[in-house]
Amino acid sequence: MHDSLPKVKATQVKRIKRPIDGVLLLDKPLGYSSNQALQKVKWLFQAAKAGHTGTLDPLATGVLPICLGEATKFAQYLTDADKTYIARVQFGVTTTTGDAEGEVLTLSPVAFNQTQLIAVLKQFEGLIEQVPPMYSALKHEGKALYTYARAGVEIERRARSVYILKIALNAYAEGVAEISVTCSKGTYIRTLAEDIGHALGCGAHLLALRRTATAAYDITQTICLDALERMTLTQREEQLLPVDTAIEAIPKVVLDADAAYYLLQGQPVWQSGKIPEGDLRIYNAQQQFLGLGFLQPDGKIAPKRLLQAEAIARNK
């Protein structure tokens, strides 16, 4: 009689999602979109909630911080942070996409020398204007620009300001340069490569891109997907950084027991000592991270984005 019971396929068995908090520093592999990498990590951790912090194209690799659980409340701070890249740029060739995945548009002779290249690179330091590429995830009327680009439709884009903190030449040979770039959020390295090529009179496109840092997170701290897959769940959890590492640049304030209690109830509180203006990382006397607060004009610290009580207890 049991033979008549329906059989459950392995693919139909749902993994139990669980609350887990922290930041995973993933070395995003080549060929994965940021969202594909995110979904893979979320599945490996059986996490109920996860989000990434700054899109990397499938062509790009490197530092992709993934926030799990309560860390997602602070993901925007990493999205907005400065980032560092190493880019390989091919001069003398332009493509439809601005990178190696596109079709060749133009071929031009490369006539500059290394000294001239360095001089042009320095022209791009500081505040510059960029026109976002058509092959990007920016939205127009609810659809990504790359959707229009693939259909052969050109959408007018406004130039926007980005900041290049530092740009340097690492190596140059036979029309190919390796450059390192530290820049503000919203900078398109593909567009930067194209603009440098235009300034040199020969055009250029991006051959490869690797993000080596986001905020204070460095490529040496990352782990690859293959390594994560070989680990047990417990070993994966050991790779997670604490939630508050996502906002380490923000000043820290430790509250006494009474102030911490009332802040967690949503009330502004007094705290002795000199309190810096702006956002504040808030901790209790046991050095447990409580969340973000800010200094009000009246001198009280008000809650801005707090961890759930269950998360505070989980992360002792």
Please give the single-letter amino acid code of residue 31. G
Q: What's the rounded Cα separation, in Å, for the pair 147 and 140?
A: 10
Considering the candidates 57, 99, 195, 244, report the single residue annotated as catalytic. Answer: 57
Angle between helices 114-122 and 189-199 (to 10 degrees): 120
Question: With the C-alpha atoms ordered 305, 309, 315, 316, is the resulting torsion angle positive or negative?
Answer: positive
Q: What's the rounded Cα separation, in Å, for the pair 273 and 270?
A: 10
Active site residue 27: no
DSSP run (H or E) holding 39? helix 34-45
Q: What's the rounded Cα separation, in Å, for the pair 103 and 94?
A: 8
Q: What's the rounded Cα separation, in Å, for the pair 213 and 210?
A: 9
Tell me which residues are annotated as active site.
Answer: 57
